[in-house]
């Protein structure tokens, strides 16, 4: 497992890398959680079920990405996947922001 030994050597010398990964995971999880809370509280009327469904899909995407991040931290996945994890977290955060905008604009009508 050469890639695992390289990953351990990289993160052992730079603890800020591990901290930034955990911070990104925390931010992504909080964004997805607040989206679900917003969907349940703001979503009244005809589209309430759709709001909750979209936020549950976002939670499922977040869960799978966090599981991949956990596997990466344990060394089960090669380092190439790190950039894909960053990309997935960025997409999930963008989707959470867009869903917040969608939920708030739909409740004003």
In whole angstroms, give the CA distance from residue 1 to residue 76. 10
Residue 92, pLDDT > 90, answer yes
CA distances 54 to 62, 91, 108, Å, are 12, 14, 19
Q: DSSP secondary-structure letter at 79? A: T
Q: What is the structure's pLDDT at 12?
A: 47
What would the mean pLDDT of 3-12 be, rounded to a whole number?
50
Residue with tokens 């990466």: 72
Mean pLDDT of 88-103: 92
Q: In 3D, which of 42, 31, 10 has the Cα closest to residue 93?
A: 31
13 pLDDT exceeds 50?
no
């Amino acid at each position: 497992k050469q890639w695992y030994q390289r990953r351990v050597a990289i993160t052992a010398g730079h603890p800020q890398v591990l901290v930034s990964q955990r911070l990104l995971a925390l931010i992504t999880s909080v964004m997805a959680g607040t989206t679900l809370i917003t969907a349940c509280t703001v979503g009244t009327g005809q589209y309430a079920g759709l709001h909750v469904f979209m936020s549950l899909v976002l939670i499922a995407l977040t869960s799978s990405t966090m599981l991949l991040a956990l596997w990466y931290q344990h060394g089960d996945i090669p380092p190439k996947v790190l950039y894909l994890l960053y990309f997935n977290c960025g997409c999930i955060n963008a989707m959470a922001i867009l869903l917040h905008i969608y939920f708030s604009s739909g409740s004003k009508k």
